[in-house]
Structure 1
Amino acid sequence: MTSTKTIAYVTDIHLGQQLQIEDGIGNGKMGYLSNPDEHKENFIVILNDMQKRGVQEFVFGGDIGAKDANWWFFDAIKKYQLKLLMVLGNHDTFAEVGKHYNNSLIDGKDEMNYSYEDNQRKYIILDSSSNSVSNGQLDWLGRQVNTSKKILLFIHHPVLKINTLIDEIGAVLNGREELKKILIDSAKDITIICGHYHMTDEAIEKNIRQISTVAGSYQILKESSKVTTDQNSFGYLLIQMVGDSIKPETVLFKQA
């Protein structure tokens, strides 16, 4: 009998952070103003939708948002019957998230990287909250990819290049080529699920398939000569695993 499992990937909710883009700058300069209620309604819509669909497990892909929004984020999740797996983004810190989230699988004392397995796959979570993956994590990853199972890797930043302006103006993961080399050299079947760029994209390079997904806050247009956003759309990714296959489905909402 073919095994089936569905999980959700929610990322870049940016609670309490109101987006600002400076005018007059050709490639765009993004920043945030403090607004305690920003994107909270989006997150509740997403949580309710996952509950209606019977989702029991979700991965948060990073960027909770403002530091003082962490408590609200975790308190909101407690109201739902959901197993949470955390990925840290560049707007998160291990110290702050660690006050609210404890997972016995976490391998390090100051980085949130860990792995686990089921009958079909090995799941690997990397911490790129410093806009890089540390040498310690890279060494750890080299050991983790030594498996006979297919690998599903969750990380906030894309590892494969995405053809978009955001990839050219400083948002890129530092040292991603070294990380990519470890994954390619492993010759394993690897699927990466990531966020950070606030856009959908799918890329394949050798043994790696990368799926970049929508943000829970706002979107950035992929094909644009300057940074252009869509602040009326938000959503998340459903990941259906049927046997050996992974079928992603974008769930998108429009602001009322």
Structure 2
Amino acid sequence: MKTIAFLNDIHLDETEPLEHGIRPQENWKRLLDHIAHHHVDNIVFGGDIGGKNAYPWFFASLKPWGKNFHLLIGNHDNYDEAIKYYPSVNSELYYAYEDGHVKYIALDSSTSWISTTQLTWLKAELSTPKKILIFIHHPILEVDTPVDRVYPLKNREQVRDLLLTLPNPIHIFCAHYHMSDVQTQHNLTQYITPAASYQIKKQARDIEVDNSNYGYRLISIDEDRINSRIILLNNLN
């Protein structure tokens, strides 16, 4: 069995977490310590490292994971800075890899779009009989929450419609909304993971911060069976 820790939205070296009483560096240290006490094979970071001055510290903290660490970038991230630590062969940070039962596809939605070039690449990569795990910062399926109405993936319908043409089950692991959500549409199951910094209330009229907890998702893959669960820790206010 393979276990992946999916973490996202730490927002290091940004003013907003501090305004809400959040200490992102302390959160990050506690999360990595928590993961160290579980049997975890890989870490995938789902985007929004934060300010570029925090990049050296962030990547140094993940150096022990070596090739078992995979990176996505989000709308708060800087591609040129990120590839100094996590090189890319493309002009965007997208790539794919696979094992015996599952194909893993990492997409770059840092501009809030999936580019035409990336969509063409994605269509070719989707040609596989295996189950597919997609990692992306932005959710692809619509969610009834204020963040979705203001900061969605701009061409999500185009991405969704491409994925719906496939017979394979596709599991989408995403971030960006600072909340937990799971929904299914035909062959697609989308899992939004709570942020490593602070949450945003899902059922609210406007964007409203909840600073009580932070967390990550543990994904378990047993041959072609895929399960996951949320791990939440209390913020040290």
Matching residue of 1:9: 6
Post-superposition shift, 1:18?
A: 2.8
1:45 to 30, 33, 52: 30
**Runs of 4+ that moved beyond 3 A:** 79-82
Partner SS for 1:197:
coil
Matching residue of 1:116: 97
| Uncovered stretches (5+) of structure 1, i.e. residues with no partner | 21-31
Any conservation in 1 of the 2:2–2:41 contact (CA below 8 Å)?
no
Post-superposition shift, 1:212?
A: 0.4
Q: What amino acid does structure 1 have at the position aligned with 2:13?
A: G
2:210 to 204, 223, 230: 230
Matching residue of 1:137: 118
Matches within 5 A, 1:123-162: 123-162=104-143
Bigger Cα Rg: 1
How far apart, CA to CA, are the structure 1 residues paired with 2:220 and 2:58? 25
| Uncovered stretches (5+) of structure 2, i.e. residues with no partner | none
Partner SS for 2:53:
helix
Matching residue of 2:77: 92
Change (3 A) 1:189 1:79: closer
- Report the TM-score, using the length of structure 2 for normalisation: 0.94
Change (3 A) 1:17 1:48: same
Partner SS for 1:48:
helix
1:175 to 152, 155, 163: 155
- Report the TM-score, using the length of structure 1 for normalisation: 0.87
Any conservation in 1 of the 2:3–2:39 contact (CA below 8 Å)?
no
Post-superposition shift, 1:191?
A: 0.4
State the superposition RMSD in angstroms: 1.8
How far apart, CA to CA, are the structure 1 residues paired with 2:217 and 2:69? 15
- Which whole-Å deviations, capped at 9, do the CAs of 1:177-207 have from their partners, x for residues lacking one? 0011110112321000000000000011111
How far apart, CA to CA, are the structure 1 residues paired with 2:60 and 2:89? 25
Matching residue of 1:191: 171
**Percent identity, aligned pairs only?**
39
- Equivalenced residues, count: 235
How far apart, CA to CA, are the structure 2 residues paired with 1:80 and 1:182? 33
